[in-house]
Structure 1
Amino acid sequence: MVLAGVLAGMAGCSSSRAEEDSAPRTSPSGSTSDPIDAAPAPAPRPTRYQPDPAEIDGAAKRAAARAVEALPDVRQVTYTQYFGYLPPAASILVEADLEDGGGTTYDVQISQAPGGWRVDSVTAAAPVPPLQDPGPLIRHVLSSDRITLPWAGRDDVAAGLVSDAVLRSMLEVAEQHRIGISVLISAHPVHVFGTDRRSNHPDGLAYDIGSIDGRLVVDPGAAGVVRQVMRIAAGTGASQVGGPDDLDDGGSQYFSDPTHSDHVHVGFNG
């Protein structure tokens, strides 16, 4: 309840502060101060995160983003995605850059309340140490200019926690399309949201794609290329490929649901 009040206060004062910052400073006489005597201009504030208009529930993502933006060490939120969307509850992935450099991924658990979505918990990815001597497959993924990894996901790869099947699949997909990976292991819930089934992510057997060739998966204009990438991913040996569309209409390899309306999930059997 305290966090909700803080966020509401932040939302109410943001525009007036921006107006104050943009107004010219004046001397007591009313004239504009000499630029030579003026204090250095403050660094511009990062833009607050705004969900894509195509989101199935932008309010849920906005609530999760505001909770992370309120953390003292966060500079800005860069991306959100559903870990699970089953109203009246949801789990939201939130990627953020930190004030001191670098960044991390958060799992924000929210639930519906009379006034909208309420933040129940915010959990950051746990740090993992890198391998001292990573193998060639790991080095290939980390150095690829066609695969963009989130901060926590890069750490997962460097630590040797991601299966070779996933690493090879990402490289194969990236041969045809530039892909932005949203999550591998760190911060992903252990169980498939709303069930007691263990997710493939914590075991390093899955990856999610949030953007393709610079366009968000949730963007309706990217629907054609999203379907292409889903088929390519399935061809790399994935046992399950989820996304905005069910490409085999209830078959066993592809699936779709509200949770996967904003990303492509590529999973492998252990």
Structure 2
Amino acid sequence: MTSSPLDRRSLLRLAALSVVAAGCRGPSGPVDPTASASAGPASPYSSRPSPTPARYAPLAGEMLPHLKQTAADFVQTMVTRSPGQRPEDVLRVATSLLAPEFQADAALRVAAPLFAEQSSAGQIVFPQLSGLSPLGPDATSAGVMVVVRQRLTSKNGRSKDVVRVLDVRLRVEQGVWRVVALVTAGGGPVDRPRDLAPGIAAVLDDPRIELPDTCRWDVHAGRVSPDLIAVLATAAKVAPVAVTVMRTGHPQNVFGTAKLSNHSQGRAVDLWRVGGQPVVSTGAVTGSAHDALLAASSDPRTRQTGSPPGSDLDGPKTRSFTDLVHQDHLHLAVGATTVGG
């Protein structure tokens, strides 16, 4: 038996009948326009998600905290599932966060890996900007890459943790950020090859480099330039770093353009935390983020760096650039090399 398409209008009708009061659910509820920024860092990748995680709070320094809040709330909802709850029931809880054109059926297909087991709980690690249009604080459309740690629990009670990078697209509707689409859910597991080059293996095993599983799978599959991995190691020599994204989970093109992103070619990596501090809160004019940026830029393999406003290393239209999209991370890119995928 084939079910009818599940569009946003259907979700709204279902939500009206649901006994779940989405507005009272904390992390699953609608955006609170009074939500304030948090001064503390996000949860480390190694922590276990709480069965009842606190709602994510945007960090101090965020220029568009309500955008980040909406993206985080949406992903938190998608990774919060009780035993017996159907994927469409999970998505129904997020109805208040969705734009009218949101395609529920398409989103559920993309989100299938999130529902691989009977139940799950999740904790937002960090939502990072991937694009703004127009580029500035008055943007009306945006991309956010949300790093989330998910604990999946099977019917027999066995649990496994995975850290994914989800590509979420949003736009402003009547002054409020709404989710337009879920583009990717962070890919699928790829076994670690036994014959990894020593330098690559060292980066994967380095406790100073926090990597989402999505990034590890990219490396395992050979989808990331060895030069990029070497530049990442250079940055981590200065201070511990936390990676947001390499290839999978990043928009294919530079946001709002037809230009292929360095990320989608396996030639770029983004760092959201350096020296234990979020880049969005510290900037990169001084401190560990600046030192890591300078070290990476000095590596001859580096062809491009992006960083928060005020931290341009070599002037306009050169290797280093700054803009509002990069106010929450360091972007490091290398030259063209042959990579798999």
Q: TM-score interval w.r.t. the shorter chain?
A: 0.7 to 0.9
Distance (whole Å) between structure 2 residues aligned to residue 227 and residue 84 of structure 1: 22
Match of 1:177 in 2: 239
How far apart are 1:220 and its partner, in Å? 3.0
* Residue type at the aligned position of 1:90: A
Counterpart contact for 2:193–2:220, Cα < 8 Å: no
Q: Which residue of 2 aligns with 1:45?
A: 52
Residues 45-79 of structure 1, C-alpha deviation per residue, up to 9 Å, x if partnerless? 11111111310100001010111111134512111
Work out the CA distance in 1 between the residues paired with 2:201 and 2:166. 25
What residue ranges of structure 1 are gaps of 5+ in the alignment?
Answer: 16-42
Partner of 1:80: 127
Report the CA distance between 1:229 and its aligned residue: 1.6
Query: What is the one-letter code of the residue matched to 1:67?
Result: F
Which of 164, 167, 170 is the equivalent residue of 1:107?
A: 167
Cα–Cα, structure 1 residues 14 and 261, in superposed 2: closer, same or farther, change >3 Å?
Answer: closer
Whether the aligned pair in 2 keeps the contact of 1:4 and 1:118 (CA below 8 Å) is no
Number of equivalent positions: 242
Cα distance in 2, alignment partners of residues 234 and 104 from structure 1: 28
Q: What is the TM-score normalised by the length of structure 1? A: 0.83
The Cα offsets for residues 136-178 of structure 1, whole Å up to 9 and x where unpaired, read as 1221111111111112112212222211111111111211211
Confirm whether residue 132 of structure 1 aligns to residue 193 of structure 2: yes
User: How big is the shift at 1:44?
Assistant: 5.6
TM-score in terms of structure 2 length: 0.66
Aligned 8 A contact 2:209 2:240 in 1: yes
Equivalent residue, structure 1, for 2:305: 241
Counterparts of 2:227 and 2:60, CA distance in 1? 34
Distance 1:13 1:106, change over 3 A: closer
**How far 1:129 sits from its partner (Å)?**
2.0
1:74–1:96 contact (8 Å) kept in structure 2 = no
Q: 2:63 aligns with which of 39, 50, 56?
A: 56
Q: Which residue, out of 295, 316, 319, partners 1:253? A: 319
Q: Is the 8 A contact 1:190 1:201 kept in 2?
A: yes
> Which structure has the larger Rg over C-alpha atoms?
1
| Cα pair distance change 1:264/1:90, threshold 3 Å | same
Amino acid aligned to 1:177? A
Identity value in percent: 29
